[in-house]
Amino acid sequence: MQRIRPGLKSSSQRARGIIVFAVGGKRLAACAEEVESVMPWPDFMPVPSRTPYVNAVIRRDRAVLPVFDLAARLQVEALGNASLCLVAKHKDGPLAIRIDQDVPALHMVEPTAIRPHRDADSDILGAYVYEAEAIPVLSLAKLGTTRGEISLLAKSGR
Amino acid sequence: MSLRGRRVAVRSAAQSTRHLVVVCGSAVLAFPADLVHGILTAFDVGSQTALTVLNETYPVAELRVQLGLPLAAGSSPEARTVLCSSGVCRRAFRVDQVLGLTEVEHMQVLPLPSHFRGAEREWFAGLFLYLDVVALIVNPDWLLNGRLSPLPSGAIADRQVTNAREKAIVMDTEKSHPAVLVSSLSADLKEANDAEDTPWAQV
């Protein structure tokens, strides 16, 4: 389900994997080590909730995973009839995120390719510049636990 | 296995709990069955804001409202009002549908994922897999002692006002076997008619 971006030496010890995916047409990125799996989007079950953007669960075998509504946070809707489910390694446990049907891509990049975000209290690590576009790199481990930074996400697009 | 080599296989009834599974909005919820003292149809309840059953008064609340869900446009024929009591506190909650009664072993109950950090942690005591969905166990303490949110104005007027005839669905606790998973409501609940020997019929 993932592609290796050609052109960079993956054998470099300093290189790190970046998963590039899309939600509602907006390109986002995350560190590969924070992505547990990508699978077809399953049926979800709403949960009455007051936690922002966490208001559903999905079943994965005998486990129940909470869903983070990243599309709602970005004020967009996931594109395509066959959305995918990205399972993030969140600090509180696995967290499901609905993403567009475009297959995520794996980019091996040097750490310097990620421009750090100035706000430490954010679930955005920085920006990954690719094809002249600054793609926000999310900290999936902290998603939803910080003040958030909607403005940066809202400004970025394809 | 005991020291004398005998296998001790005592299975405590406390290892499992029965739950009444209902639909509320788009969520599937589970009431601990020992709290449930009766189930009434919308026809029975009408627009009453309090029900008096066997000299006990149950204030009626919309479970949707308590959970911050939008109210249904109208009253569905599958809607029910569940009478809940701990012996001290009594409340009745309108739900959209009753799905069934099920026995859940405690080891099958999962905690609400810690990603949920809001009021829902008070609302739900856990969850379990029910058929092909997930049922959220309503916290009995919140259910009976939590502050009730008022109904939005006009909500009652939209409902059909009908005087209740003496009809109710009561829990038949003697029939149900604790070790059997009951997926169908009809197996464990019986509909009481106007017979004199039925306590609900005397109301």
**Per-residue model confidence (pLDDT) at position B116:** 97
- Pick the closest to residue B105 from B178, B27, B9 (CA basis): B178
Contacts of B125 in chain A (CB under 8 A): none
Whether the CB of A119 is below 8 Å from some CB of chain B: the reply is no
Q: Say which residue, A106 or B178, is predicted with more confidence.
A: A106
Give the chain B residue whose CA is nearest to the CA of A95.
B115
Compute the mean pLDDT over every residue in chain A, rounded to the nearest whole number.
Answer: 84
Least confident of A61-65, A131-135, B152-156: B152-156
Whether the CB of B116 is below 8 Å from some CB of chain A: the reply is yes
- Number of residues in chain B: 203
Whether the CB of B74 is below 8 Å from some CB of chain A: the reply is no
Sheet hosting strand B16-24, strand order edge to edge: B97-105, B16-24, B27-32, B133-138, B124-130
Compute the mean pLDDT over every residue in chain B, rounded to the nearest whole number.
Answer: 75
Whether the CB of A72 is below 8 Å from some CB of chain B: the reply is no
How many Å lie between the alpha carbon of A88 and the closest alpha carbon of chain B?
Answer: 12
Select the highest-mean-pLDDT range: A73-77, B48-52, B118-122.
B118-122
Model confidence pLDDT, tens digit, residues B126-185: 999 999 999 999 999 999 987 776 655 555 444 433 333 334 444 443 333 322 223 334
The token duo for A124 is: 């955005």
**Per-residue model confidence (pLDDT) at position B76:** 82
Closest CB from B114, B129, B136 relative to A47:
B136
Decide if A47 and B110 are in contact by the 8 Å CB cutoff: no
Decide if B114 and A92 are in contact by the 8 Å CB cutoff: yes
**Per-residue model confidence (pLDDT) at position A148:** 52
Phi then psi for residue B132, to 5 deg, are: -105, 20
Q: Say which residue, B165 or B51, is predicted with more confidence.
A: B51
Whether the CB of A37 is below 8 Å from some CB of chain B: the reply is no
Amino acid at B91: R
Contacts of B124 in chain A (CB under 8 A): 47
pLDDT at A35 over 90: yes
**Per-residue model confidence (pLDDT) at position B23:** 95
Cα distances from B90 to residues B36, B50, B59, B84, in angstroms, run 10, 10, 7, 6
The token duo for B115 is: 């990603």
Contacts of A45 in chain B (CB under 8 A): 26-28, 133-134
Percent of chain A at pLDDT above 70?
82
| B contact test, residue of A43, A44, A45 with most B CBs within 10 A | A45
Closest CB from B27, B114, B119 relative to A93:
B114
Percent of chain A at pLDDT above 90?
55
Mean pLDDT on A74-94: 90
**Per-residue model confidence (pLDDT) at position B13:** 52
Give the chain B residue whose CA is nearest to the CA of A145.
B115
Q: Which helix (H) or strand (E) holds A114?
A: strand A114-116
What confidence tier does A63 reach under pLDDT thresholds 50, 70, 90?
A: very high
Model confidence pLDDT, tens digit, residues B189-203: 444 344 334 333 333
Reported ipTM exceeds the 0.85 cut? no
How many Å lie between the alpha carbon of B72 and the closest alpha carbon of chain A?
Answer: 15
Decide if A68 and B115 are in contact by the 8 Å CB cutoff: yes
- A126: helix, strand or coil: strand
**Per-residue model confidence (pLDDT) at position B3:** 53
Least confident of A150-154, B4-8, B83-87, B94-98: A150-154
